[in-house]
Structure 1
Amino acid sequence: MRVRTPAHPQPLSIMVRRMTAGEDIAMRRKRLRYRAWHRGTREMDLVLGPFADAEIEGLDTVELDRLERLMDEEDPALLTWVLGQAEPPAHVDSEFLERVIRSHRQRMSA
């Protein structure tokens, strides 16, 4: 039996655009949650992982962008900011970082 293939297969970009927005954001959330738990340093895993578990389903695309930019920072620098040992540079989204820090402190005091 011969399988027919389309004369002009659809490019991947068209297939991706046909995905529903819910599927696309669900995949992004899953990827970011994994990334939050697999940072490279256990200390930051324990800060960002629980934050992602607790918050990621409620984050919209803009907030996911903010989380992703924060997670692009190096672990040693992030850890010093979370611990209050250093001030983050101007390019860091201090408001979102503070949200992560508050979440971490609430978990530690519970």
Structure 2
Amino acid sequence: MTIDVDIKRLQWRAHHRGTKEADLLIGGFFDAHHATWDAAQRATFAQILDEQDVDIMAWALGTAAPPERFAGPMIEDLRKLNYIRVAK
């Protein structure tokens, strides 16, 4: 699979979660960070996308700890929440 196809698949999965809130949080995170990810980071994000939205959102908001396999820089960046665009 080429990187472009991989990125497009991740983009679609990140932006089509089922709720507007999850789309904004997870899709916004993808938009802000995917350009700097290497293959291992893309694979980690794909694994995160396999998890339930409520869990991902809880990790981002700090109301639940992520599984050890996800602990690290990606979750730390997810928790910053500086990638969510809010309409004014």
Query: Normalising TM by the smaller chain, what interval?
Result: 0.7 to 0.9
In 2, Cα distance between equivalents of 1:59 and 1:26: 13
* Length, aligned pairs only: 85
- 5 Å-filtered alignment, 1:36-55, equals 36-55=14-33
Q: 1:52 to 1:108 in 2, by over 3 A?
A: closer
In 2, Cα distance between equivalents of 1:97 and 1:34: 20
Structure number with the bigger relative contact order (C-alpha 8 A, sep ≥ 6) is: 2
Matched, 1:88 2:66: yes
**CA apart distance, 1:58:** 2.0
Specify every segment of 5 or more residues in structure 2 that has no aligned partner in the other structure, as ranges: none
**CA apart distance, 1:46:** 0.9
| Matching residue's letter, 2:71 | S
RMSD: 2.1
Q: 1:57 to 1:108 in 2, by over 3 A?
A: closer
Specify every segment of 5 or more residues in structure 1 that has no aligned partner in the other structure, as ranges: 1-15, 17-23
Larger radius of gyration: 1
TM-score by length of 1: 0.66
8 Å CA contact 1:29, 1:57 repeated in 2: no
Matched, 1:57 2:22: no
8 Å CA contact 2:25, 2:84 repeated in 1: no
Q: In the alignment, what sits opposite 1:13?
A: none
In 1, Cα distance between equivalents of 2:14 and 2:79: 14
In 2, Cα distance between equivalents of 1:33 and 1:108: 15
Between the aligned residues of both structures, percent identity stands at: 33
